[in-house]
Copies of this chain bind each other. A is one copy, B any other.
Amino acid sequence: MTDRQNRQNRPKKLPALVVQKYGGSSVATSEKIKNVALRIKNRLEAGAPGGSKMAVVVSAMGKTTDGLIALAKEVSPSPPPREMDMLLATGEQVSAALLAMALRDAGVAATSRNAFQLGIETSGDHSNARIQDIDLSLLQRSFQENSVVVITGFQGVTPEGDLTTLGRGGSDTSAVAVAAKAVSAGIDAVCEIYSDVPGIFTCDPNKVPGARKLDYITYEEMLELASLGAKVLHMRSVELARKYGVTLYCASTFSEERGTYVVKELPEWLESPVVTGVTVARNQMKFVVKRIPGDGDVLCGIFHALALAGVNLDMISTAEDGDMSFLTFTALDGDAEAVVNAVSGCMNEKGLTGWAIEPGIPVTKVSAVGDGMNAATGVAGRVFAALRSLEVTIRGISTSDINISVLVDDERADEAVAALAKEFQLTTTDPQYAPLHTARTP
């Protein structure tokens, strides 16, 4: 065989790929599934960039997963994780099959594929597995006779053939993984995440009147927002998108409204804002451990005891007074008893006296996030000034390159968010409104 023939016989490169993901509320009923099918058809007819192939990842219909979990609990108080995954994986298979039916009915050549059929290989951590590979050739083969391949999100298969699930928000991760695998094979792929939320907002639109939807946000900013409690995108999916440079697009299933792009860097024609968004984490509890020896040994012991007790710490800080230290941190309010027990146990074990732990104080964490923060001076000052004008007590503070978080009393949290939104011009109702992340006419 000549070289030329060899080249001709190579498998064809996949066309540019649009990966879409529809969440549970987008496919909650047969009517909604038919609506999604029409959206996909319209998108195909409008022409996907560089080709006409779409991979559509679906979650289970509406509350299906919750229903299956309840059924499992009826059968066994602590169902084995392997069987739980076997059970839950059916939810996505139902919605994938139904969406493929609706697409066929709308005249679109579509087929459904589950994790076995696409070789979505994961680790064996049942209920929280990580995707390790996707067999792109199987996807490619499915596209030979189909324009649309509907993929069961949230699930994978271990090398031993056991079904796994990826944990909450796992369908986002499935979608980004398909796009990432394509991108790393040199295929131009984008990933669109559709839900009942029309995009990423500067603040929670249910809490802050006039919260603006962003046209663009960077991966870094999105990761901060997700870690601080914003629920539009799952953190793992954003991390994966950042790692492989997959452009994400978040928009509503139920409107044609423009959504938000999650990208590596803002387009050049966008003026970078100092603060992109303000977010809120409730149900926090602040603890102070007083008068402990200032050497690292005791601190180390406390952190170890808390980790063993399964307590996640946040907003950790220390202060010193002579030989003595004060340790401050927050934890989820459900962990209050575990915190006191773990710290007391540690101190007693070391035979220490004279120390004390303040019972937890309920607080809310309010965070301002923005890529522009590390370049701009005086951001912390503006945060404090805005809160001081309200006479809001700041019960703690932490900062990173793109994030300033403060702890405030629960009942003052909404005012604090509003003050920061105003200070950083994040709402459209603000008289100083400037469309910071909103695209100029290109």
Residues of A at the B interface (CB closer than 8 Å) are 30, 33-34, 68, 71-72, 74-80, 82-84, 86-87, 89-90, 93-94, 96-98, 100-102, 104-105, 111-112, 114, 116-117, 161-163
Contacts and interface: CB of A to CB of B under 8 A. Distances in A.
Given A75-B105, A117-B162, 12 more contacts: A34-B75, A71-B94, A72-B97, A75-B101, A78-B105, A83-B98, A83-B100, A83-B101, A83-B111, A87-B93, A90-B94, A114-B163
Given A76-B104, A77-B105, A101-B76, A83 B112 contact: yes
B161 A33 contact: no
Contacts of A104: 76, 79-80, 83
A121 to B, nearest CB: 14
A76 B101 CA distance: 6
A67 to B, nearest CB: 10
Nearest to A112: B86
Given A71-B30, A82-B111, A97 B101 contact: no
B87 A94 contact: yes
Contacts of A117: 161-162
In the complex, the 9 A-B pairs of residues with the closest C-beta atoms, listed nearest first? A30-B74, A87-B97, A90-B90, A76-B105, A86-B97, A76-B101, A79-B101, A116-B116, A83-B97
A97 B101 CA distance: 26
Number of identical monomers bound together in the oligomeric complex: 2
A86 B93 contact: yes
Contacts of A33: 75
Contact of A93 (B71, B82, B90, B105): B90
A171 B363 CA distance: 57
A60 to B, nearest CB: 10
A72 B98 contact: yes
14 contacts: A34-B75, A72-B97, A72-B98, A72-B101, A76-B104, A77-B105, A79-B101, A79-B105, A84-B101, A86-B100, A87-B101, A90-B97, A116-B116, A116-B161
Nearest to A73: B30
Contacts of A86: 93, 96-97, 100, 112, 114
A105 B79 CA distance: 8
A69 to B, nearest CB: 12
Given A76-B105, A117-B161, A71 B87 contact: no
Nearest to A33: B75
Contacts of A76: 101-102, 104-105
A71 B104 CA distance: 15
Nearest to A117: B161
Given A87-B97, A94-B87, A94-B90, A102 B75 contact: yes
Nearest to A31: B74
A102 B74 CA distance: 9
B75 A98 contact: yes
A120 B439 CA distance: 55
A91 to B, nearest CB: 8
A364 B82 CA distance: 52
A350 B256 CA distance: 63
Contacts of A87: 93-94, 97-98, 101
A289 to B, nearest CB: 42
A100 B86 CA distance: 10
A90 B83 CA distance: 14
A86 B33 CA distance: 16
Contacts of A97: 72, 83-84, 86-87, 90
A366 to B, nearest CB: 43
A93 B90 CA distance: 7
A101 B84 CA distance: 8
A1 to B, nearest CB: 28
A34 B75 CA distance: 7
A114 B162 CA distance: 10
A97 B93 CA distance: 15
A93 B83 contact: no
Q: Which of A30, A76, A112, A117 has the most CB of B within 10 A?
A: A76
Nearest to A150: B83
